Structure 1
Amino acid sequence: MKKSKTYDIVTIAIVAALYVILTMTPGLSAISYGPIQFRVSEMLNFTAFFNKKYIIAVTIGCMISNFLSFTWVDVIVGGLSTLVFLSLGVLLFDRFKEDYFWNGQLNKAFFFFAIFFSISMFTIALELKFVAETPFLLTWGTLALGEFASLFIGAFIMDKLGKRVDLSR
C-alpha cells in the first residue's frame, strides 16, 4: 500500500510532539536545559536511521522545546545544529546500521552517531558562552557527556523498539 503525504505529516508531528513531551515534562525539563543537560528526548534522533523524514521531526521538536524554555537564539542554534548534525550523522553512519557490538546488544551506527553528535555540542557550548557567559570548554564537556549518556542509553531503547515497531514507515 502506498503511503500518503498525510501519513508522513502525521508521523512527523507525532515524533516532534514526543520530543517536546520528553523534554518538557516536569522532572525531565529540569535536566533538559543549560550547561549540564540530559535530554531523554534525544533518543528520538535514532528514528532518523529508520526513516530520514524523522530528521525534520526531531528538528521541529527540538526547536519547539527550545522556544518554550530558553531563547530565540537557542531555537535557531539548537534547531540548525540538530538539522545539520543529525543529517550528517545519518549520512555518515547509516551504513553500520546492521552491525553490532557486544553480541548484538549495541548498534554500531547508533554508537558512532552518539559519539559524533556529542562532539557536535560545541555549537550549543558556543551559544551558551555568548548568551549565558558560561566557560566554553567546561560547558562543551558537560554538554557532550550528557548528550552521550542520553544517546547511549537511548541507543539500546530505540534499537529494541525498532525491532518491534516498524519505524521505517
Structure 2
Amino acid sequence: MKHFTTRDMAQIAIVAAIYIVLTITPPLNAMSYYGYQFRVSEMMNFLAFYNKKYLIAVTIGCMIANLYSFGWIDVFVGGGSTFVFLGLGLLLFSRFKDKFLFSGVIRLDHFLFAIFFSISMFTIALELYYLQGQPFFYNWLTMGLGEFASLMFGAIIINKLSNYIDFTE
C-alpha cells in the first residue's frame, strides 16, 4: 500500500477544493444539482486515470459539494457512487488509455468512462425518487445526459491540459 507524501495530500486537497468551487459557485451551482447535474467539476474525474490518488480527491470534493444539496444523505449516496463507479471505471477502462477518438481529441478510456459513469446516475435518480418523489426514469435520463455532456466537455479539457501538465505526479 502506497503512503501519501505531503505533496500528495496537498494535491488531493487542491483538487478536492477545485471540485467544490466548480460545483457550488454561482452560476455553476444552478446547473450542478437536481435533475440535470451538468457539473463542470466532473472533469476532475479524469485526473484519476492519470494518478489514482485523485480518486480520493474527487470523492472528497463531491462529498463536500453534496452537503449543499440534500445534506448527509447525498454526501454518502453521491460521494459513495462517485467512489465506487470511478473506481470501477479505472479498473474497466484504464487499458484503453493509449487509444484516441476524434483525431486525438478524446482518449478512448475517457469516452468509455463517460458512458459508464452517465449510466451510473441511476443511483442519484433513485435518491431523488425516494427523498422527493421525483420521477425516476426522467431524472435518470436527464441526469445521465447532463453527466455525459459534462464528462465529454471535461475529457476534452483534461486531454488538452495533459499536454502541458503532468497529472501522473
Q: TM-score range by the shorter chain?
A: over 0.9
* 2:142 is the alignment partner of 1:151: no
Amino acid at match of 2:63: M
Q: Percent identity?
A: 59
* 2:28 is the alignment partner of 1:28: yes
Q: Which residue of 1 aligns with 2:86?
A: 86
- CA shift, 1:4, in A, is 6.3
**Structure 2 CA distance for aligned equivalents of residues 103 and 24 of structure 1:** 34
* 2:138 is the alignment partner of 1:138: yes
- Match of 2:162, SS state, is helix
Q: Which residue of 2 aligns with 1:120?
A: 120
**Structure 2 CA distance for aligned equivalents of residues 4 and 60 of structure 1:** 16
- After the TM superposition, which parts of structure 1 deviate over 3 Å for at least 4 consecutive aligned residues? none
Task: Note the alpha carbon deviations across 1:95-134, whole angstroms, 9 max, x for none.
Answer: 1111001221221000000000000000000001001111
Can you give the 5+ residue segments of structure 2 that lack an aligned partner in the other structure? none
TM-score calculated relative to the size of structure 1: 0.96
Q: Which residue of 2 aligns with 1:17?
A: 17
Amino acid at match of 1:80: G
Q: How many residues align?
A: 167
TM-score calculated relative to the size of structure 2: 0.96
* 2:69 is the alignment partner of 1:60: no
- CA shift, 1:35, in A, is 1.2
- CA shift, 1:68, in A, is 2.8
Q: Which residue of 1 aligns with 2:74?
A: 74
Task: Note the alpha carbon deviations across 1:38-87, whole angstroms, 9 max, x for none.
Answer: 00000000000000000000000000000133321100100100000000
**Structure 1 CA distance for aligned equivalents of residues 143 and 23 of structure 2:** 15
